[in-house]
Structure 1
Amino acid sequence: MTAPIQNNILKTYFLLTYVAVLALVSDSIPVASIFQDGLIPTGFMLITWLLYGLYYLLPAIVVTALVKFISKKNTRAVYATAVISGGLTTLVMYANAKLFSLYGMFFNGFILNLVATPGGIESLGGSSASDVGFALIALGFMSAQALALWLVHYFYIKKSAPQLSFKFLPITALVATVFVHMGFALDSYTTNQLNVVAQAIPFYQTVSARGFFKSLGLTTKREAKLKLKGKLNYPLNPIQFKQPAKPYNIIWLTSESWRADTLNEKIMPNSWEFAKGAARFTRNYSTGNGTRMGVFGMFTAMPGNYWFPFLEERRGAAIIDVLQQQQYQMSFYTSAKFSYPEFDKTIFAHVPAEQLHDKNKGASGWENDRNNVTDLLSFIDQRDKSKPFFTFMFFESPHARYYFPPESVIATPYRDDLNYATLSKTALRDNIVPIKNRYINSVHHLDMQYGRIFDYLKQHQLLDNTIVILIGDHGEEFMEHGFWGHNSTFVDQQVRTPLVIYKPGSAPLVSDQMTSHMDVVPTIMPLIGVSNPSSDYSTGYNLLAGEKRTHTYISDWDKVTYVDDDVKITQPVNAKSFALMTSSRGDDTALPSDERKGLLQQKQPAMLQLVQDLSKFFKKKDGHRPAPPR
């Protein structure tokens, strides 16, 4: 085969692959709404879509060209490289489009962490059917690329085919790159009408051109972003305590994806009955829309954005330090992994490995939960009764795919399985009721395991000296606002969880005041003899002392949301992207644009408080401690 023919075959093949990439990318672009916004957003959308389609394909083109240069006349090696690199490109763009469709995000640091961290992939809860489905999809993309190359080769060898020339493509792409990125930069200083388009283009890269536009007399209209970095100063002062003469035992039970409205008499009869004798907080907000920030916030009593410096410095939670100093016997259990999220390097960083039990033998989440409860009760049974104990368990039953045995079925019909490989937004809408029924059954199984613990405590007269905490890491949405699961938005369904705190001797309480995961530790610390004000180690409140909050914070990987009765305001944190502040009413209904400006201006003192709270536990550059913001 002559070099010109091979060149034309590869050009045509990559042109077809480019069209496929454009089709996959278009799935995330709201074409109709952008078209309604006018000519400028529409033109920007078309040019950016065409340009970025080339960017996504560029690595495959470069790798193939490199192999072609090295291998000289080895046509098979060149073709194999073209098929594999092109197949991987289309497969990645397909997965990215599917991720956006289901969860409203593209591949980002959170997804990379999920893939790279031990236990991350397992946390997804995929089934064998899903694994087979993904394998078939990958095989399908590779086969499609091989077929495309074979057809192109056939027509060039056997038939007459057009000769393609892309002589002016590099200079055209370069000019277009400058045009769209400088255009976006200019718009960000003026009208901000291109932001929605840019957010719909996967991995859109921005330039600010701040110096250039400043020389033209333009000033930015971008809303301020939170830049929060530094060395931890946690706690602000050494924790002082005097261990009570009769210290409480503590049992801390946390469930994956435990949605607030499931704590009721029908779904969770055991927990409902137990909560009647405890303090139950009906309007509790997690510190995150995912497990990482949710569990971190409940143990540190701080906004989830502190996760990153805690991870970097391998800092554990202060409450764990206190309990260790008081010689508490400890044993922690999870039906997931302590390595994902990296709790063994953050909140439990100072806990010996032999006290962290995550070697699950069960085939599914419900079996792991059942086995771990057995082990937890065995630990309590075999403890040294002259010393207090603290035990924690993380339950997995309500995590998608939602796990339960046949005896836990109370809601029908339900899906037998969830095949992630075949899920789509349309399929979710059509099947959301049986999917949610599956979730309800899994929560009912969770309640059965809670019931085993409650029964044990009653039978062994431990409720007279044991604090019991029931809490979820975050909620779970079932398409109420267009998404399924969690980690995508900050709507109530994704961030509201039950919170029950049982303290021996306290009168039962039902409170509909706003509470947060950040309030758990400030409520427990005084009960174990800590005398510091809670502001030394938290941004939370003592719920059993009548303290009340007017607002709270909810975090994800790179954003934080301020919440009060009136509004939810979401801001990027340490973000290099163009993401802007977003807002809604406190009940998640849309906030009209004519009200937004006035309300945000009204909330400026609250936004200042947010900045103070998110920087409170960082050392200042001069080494002095920041003043507490309260």
Structure 2
Amino acid sequence: MTTTTQKNTLKLYFFITYFVVLWLVSDSLAMTTIFQEGWLPFGFMVITFLLYGLYYLLPAIAITALVGFISKHIKPQSTKPAYIAAIMTASITTLLLYANAKIFSLYGMFFNGFILNLVMTPGGIESLGGSTASDVGYALFALGFLSLQLLILWLAHRYYTKHLRKPLSFKFLPVSAIVTTILVHMGFALDSYSTNQLNMVAESIPFYQTVSARGFFESLGFKTHRETKLKIKGKLQYPLNPLQINKPAKPYNIIWLTSESWRADTLDEKVMPNSWEFAKNAARFTRNYSTGNGTRMGVFGMFTGIPGNYWFPFLETRRGAAIIDVLQQQQYQISLYTSAKFSYPEFDKTIFAQVPSEQMHEGKAKTGWESDRDNVTDLLSFIDKRDPSRPFFTFMFFESPHARYYFPPESVIAKPYRDDINYATISKKKFKDDITPIKNRYINSVHHLDMQYGRIFNYLKEHQLLDNTIVILIGDHGEEFMEHGFWGHNSTFVDEQVRTPLVIYTPGMKPLVSNEMTSHMDVIPTIMPLLGVTNPSSDYATGYNLLAGEKRSHTYISDWDKVAYVDDEVKITQPVNGKSFVLMKASKGNDDALSNDERKAILAKKQPAMLQLVQDLSKFFKKKETKSVRP
């Protein structure tokens, strides 16, 4: 085979693959919705879509060209290295784009730092709860994409040698791509200084690179449209002042039970009869908001009492939660359990950083429900074998309600339910059509969670431990079942993803049912005074003491790179530290959409609240370099 034949075969091969790429990426584009926004957003989307399809292939093209160049000088007549490079790089590219489209379809996000952290951190992949069927599906898809690229190369070679036999010229393509790139990004920059009409479009293009020219337009005398972005930096100072403790004469034991993906509306007498009955003698908060739409920020907020954006400096400095310091100072016997991993999210390097590894126990069973059952057995054994002369603190993270939603046959209360959820083959449409049996699977898993809670409640009653033991029941976050177009969590701040049950039992308390807004950040300010901490809660939290009648008007919810301000009227979401180009988003407090005029009016009205947000997100930094900057 001649070098000319090889070059032209590869040109045709990548030309065909380009259309495969466009097909894969098109799944994330809401064509009809954007068309209704007007010709400018739609035209911008079409041009950018076609342009970025080429960008996605550039690494594969470059690697193939480099391999071809090297092999040409080593073995001039060999065509295999370049063909192999083309097939492998294009297969990987298309497979990643397919996975990216799947992630966006179900979770509303593209591959980002959060997903990279999930892949790279020990325990991250396991946290997805995959199955053998899913693993087989992934392997078959990978084989399928490889086979597709082999077929395309064979067709390209056959078509060129049989029908074309003349050089293919794309000499104008590089210049056209460069010019189009400049025009597209100038258009985005021009729009961003005025209406921000194209931000929604750019958000749907995978890995779109933004360009802002506000400074340039302002220098020409134009009045630009600006929205505040949060830039928060500084050295962590947590707590603000050393904790002052008057050790109680009879310190309370504490049992802290946290469940994965525990929706607020599942705590009822049908799905969770044991927990419902227990809550009748405790304080139950019906309108509780997590500090995150994922496990990381949700658990962090409940143990620290501060917003989730502090996770990153805590991780960087290996700072543990202040409540653990208090427990250790008072010689509590500590034993922690999880049916997931303490390494993912990195709780062993944040909230539990000061806890010795021998006091942290991870479930070893194959499924979440089995690990939950085994861990409860171990937890009760720990209490049995404790030193009765010293108080104890035990924490358990339950995994049963984590997708794929685990439960044994005796926990089935909702039918029909899906036998399995195959991540490799599921699609958004298929998920919508099958949402009832999938949600029934979740309900069965929550019922199993309640059965495990019941074992603990019965033990406490039988051993008369409720007279001196605080019990906390809480979820890390909620779980959406397509109520707003997505499944699971970690994607948006809708109520289904961020509201959880919260039950706090303290000995001798009067039962309470509160319909006021509460937050995970309120747990620590509620518990710390019971441990003898005399500091004002503002020294170590941004929450309120729920048992002292304190009320909140708003709360904050975080994910990997954004924070949401939430009150009765509105939810306002914005990026933190420039990790996302998406500007402020706003919806009604009940997640209904706002018109453009309503959005502008509510953002203007909530400016004081946004200033308070900046203060609270920077409160626990010693050297404040916090400022609102204009992009």
Shorter-chain TM-score above 0.5: yes
State the distance in 2 between where 1:214 and 1:284 align.
44
1:49 aligns with 2:52: no
Contact 1:301 1:518 in 2 (8 A): yes
Matched, 1:164 2:168: yes
**Aligned-pair CA distance for 1:621:** 5.0
- 82, 85, 88: which one pairs with 1:84? 88
Deviation at 1:197? 1.2
Q: How does 1:312-461 map to 2 (within 5 A)?
A: 312-358=316-362, 360-461=363-464
Cα distance in 1 for partners of 2:118, 2:225 equals 35
Tell me, yes or no, if the aligned pair for 1:239 and 1:532 is still in contact at 8 Å: yes
Out of 469, 476, 487, the residue aligned to residue 466 of structure 1 is: 469
Deviation string for 1:194-240 (max 9, x for gaps)? 11111111110012234432332234313111111221011100011
Alignment-mate amino acid for residue 380 of structure 1: I
* Corresponding position of 2:261: 257
Q: Which residue of 2 aligns with 1:207?
A: 211
Compared CA separation, residues 527 and 433, structure 1 to 2 (3 A) = same
Name 2:7's counterpart in structure 1: 7
| Aligned residues of 2:618 and 2:624 also touching (Cα < 8 A) | no
Structure 2 equivalent of residue 608 of structure 1? 611
Deviations 1:25-45 (A, max 9, x none): 111111122222222222211
2:366 is matched by which residue type in structure 1?
A
Q: Of 173, 176, 188, which residue of structure 1 is paired with 2:177? A: 173
TM-score, normalised via structure 2 length: 0.97
Indicate whether 1:146 and 2:182 are aligned.
no
Q: 2:114 aligns with which of 110, 130, 134?
A: 110
Q: Which amino acid aligns with 2:414?
A: A
Q: State whether residues 516 and 552 of structure 1, in contact with CA within 8 Å, keep that contact through their aligned partners in structure 2.
A: yes
What's the RMSD between the two structures over aligned residues?
1.3
- Give 1:524's match in structure 2, choosing from 519, 527, 536: 527
Q: 1:535 aligns with which of 529, 533, 538?
A: 538
- Whether the aligned pair in 1 keeps the contact of 2:9 and 2:160 (CA below 8 Å) is yes
Deviations 1:78-112 (A, max 9, x none): 11110000001111111111111111100000000
Output the CA distance in 2 between the equivalents of 1:274 and 1:162: 80
Report whether the alignment pairs 1:593 with 2:596.
yes
Q: Deviations over 1:100-156 (max 9, x none)?
A: 111110000000000000000000001100000011011100100011101111223
Q: In structure 2, how many angstroms separate the alpha carbons of the residues matched to 1:467 and 1:320?
A: 15
Residue pairs, 1:61-76, within 5 angstroms: 61-72=61-72, 73=76, 74-76=78-80
The whole-number CA distance in structure 2 between the counterparts of 1:169 and 1:79 is 22
1:569 is displaced (CA, Å) by: 0.8
User: Which of 101, 108, 119 is equivalent to 2:105?
Assistant: 101
Counterpart code for 2:4 = P
Amino acid in structure 2 at the alignment position of 1:316: G
What is the letter of the counterpart of residue 50 of structure 1? Answer: L
Change beyond 3 A, Cα 1:30–1:269: same
Distance 2:266 2:165 in 1: 64
Q: 2: distance between equivalents of 1:116 and 1:314?
A: 19
- The whole-number CA distance in structure 1 between the counterparts of 2:178 and 2:298 is 44
Deviation at 1:575, TM superposition (A): 2.0
1:489 aligned to which of 463, 484, 492: 492
- 1:271-290 → structure 2 map (5 Å cutoff): 271-290=275-294
Give, in angstroms, the shift of residue 59 of structure 1.
Answer: 0.3
The one-letter code matched in structure 1 to 2:19 is V
> Which amino acid is 1:245 matched to?
A
Aligned partners of 2:192 and 2:214 also within 8 Å: no
Contact conserved, 2:561 with 2:580, CA < 8 A, in 1?
no
**SS state of the match for residue 420, structure 1?**
coil
> Residues 161, 24 of structure 1: CA spacing in aligned structure 2 closer, same or farther, 3 A cutoff?
farther
Separation in 2, partners of 1:213, 1:594: 25
Letter in 2 for 1:202: P
SS at match of 1:419: coil
Question: Larger deviation: 574-583 or 331-340?
Answer: 574-583
Give the Cα–Cα distance (whole angstroms) in 2 for the partners of residues 247 and 150 of structure 1: 75
Aligned residue in 2 for 1:32: 32
Matched, 1:184 2:188: yes
Q: Are 1:222 and 1:580, in contact at CA under 8 Å, matched by a contact in 2?
A: no
The whole-number CA distance in structure 2 between the counterparts of 1:595 and 1:183 is 26
Q: Shift of residue 157 of structure 1?
A: 3.1
Cα contact 2:372–2:400 (8 A) shared by 1: yes
SS in 2 for 1:21: helix
Q: Which amino acid aligns with 1:448?
A: M
Q: Distance in 2 between matches of 1:308 and 1:576?
A: 13
- Which deviations, in whole Å up to 9, do the C-alpha atoms of 1:564-593 show, x marking residues without a partner? 111111111112443011111111111222
Mapping of residues 500-515 of structure 1, within 5 Å: 500-515=503-518
Equivalent residue in structure 1 for 2:561, among 552, 558, 561: 558
> How far, CA to CA, are the matches of 1:161 and 1:101 in structure 2?
42
- Counterparts of 1:466 and 1:47, CA distance in 2: 63
- Distance between the aligned counterparts of 2:195 and 2:287, measured in 1? 39
> Which one of 114, 126, 135 corresponds to residue 130 of structure 2?
126
Cα distance in 1 for partners of 2:513, 2:505 equals 12
Q: 1:162 to 1:407 in 2, by over 3 A?
A: farther
1:17 partnered with 2:21? no
Say if 1:257 and 1:474, in contact at 8 Å, map to a contact too: yes
1:231-253 Cα deviation digits (max 9, x unpaired): 10111000110110100000000
Q: What is aligned with 2:273?
A: 269
SS at match of 1:422: coil
Whether the 8 Å CA contact 2:575–2:581 is kept in 1: the answer is no
- Matched positions, count: 623
Q: Secondary structure at the match of 1:34?
A: helix
Query: 2:51 and 2:165 mapped to 1: Cα distance?
Result: 26
- Secondary structure of the residue aligned to 1:7 is helix
Quick one: percent identity of the two aligned structures? Answer: 78
- Contact kept, 8 Å, 2:106 with 2:427, in 1: the verdict is yes
What is the CA–CA distance in structure 1 between the aligned matches of 2:131 and 2:579, rounded to whole Å? 36
Give the equivalent residue in structure 2 for 1:237.
241
1:311–1:346 contact (8 Å) kept in structure 2: yes
Q: What letter is aligned with 1:58?
A: L
1:547 aligns with 2:550: yes
d(CA) in 1 for partners of 2:453, 2:371: 14
SS where residue 287 of structure 2 aligns? strand
Q: Distance in 1 between matches of 2:38 and 2:281?
A: 60
Distance 1:184 1:87 in 2: 31
Q: 1:266 to 1:161 in 2, by over 3 A?
A: farther
